[in-house]
Copies of this chain bind each other. A is one copy, B any other.
């Protein structure tokens, strides 16, 4: 388990390779390791590359309607998504989810327990999707959204959702019927996907 105190330079800090070097550009197995890393052959700096965390939430208003954002950016411009994005440094997961709701929908939210944790190893991504309550229904599109809206379950644009995990998280939310305790969902099993495909 890694250390709890910050080293002078994080292993992933590109600033640790001085400008006088050509930069990390050679794939080689560093001493004592078991896999190739991107290294600088001039100073030996190792540019570790690690998975990224996406933080987001299924945000509900008092009447149960769900906050969705229509993307103004590629990929999937024009499709609907949850407020979510890459976690930043020096924030907690819940702070990140709240920040994304503000950035994408000018929504003030109270972040609750974890609804789902999705692994997407193909793109080295872990998505942490929380339950959240909307604190005011005064929402509006941020720079990454064309529009935002509150959707009753039957009004969700199922055929215009941006990504599979948006679909999964919404269906998990629906399955739980307002309960926010319990274990978080993980990537759905084939049976679950088949059940969801049969209808709402």
A residues neighboring B (CB under 8 Å): 1-6, 10, 12-15, 17, 19, 21-25, 32, 35, 38, 47-54, 56, 74-76, 81-82, 84-95, 113-114, 117, 119-128, 143, 162-166, 181-184
Contacts and interface: CB of A to CB of B under 8 A. Distances in A.
A49 B89 contact: yes
**Prevailing SS type, chain A contact patch:** loop
B52 A38 contact: no
A5 B123 contact: yes
A113 B183 CA distance: 8
A2 B30 CA distance: 31
A119 B90 contact: no
Contact of A90 (B14, B121, B166): B121
Nearest to A27: B15
Contact of A162 (B1, B15, B52, B93): B1
A3 to B, nearest CB: 4
Contacts of A127: 1
Output the residue of A12, A82, A114 with the most chain B CB within 10 A. A12
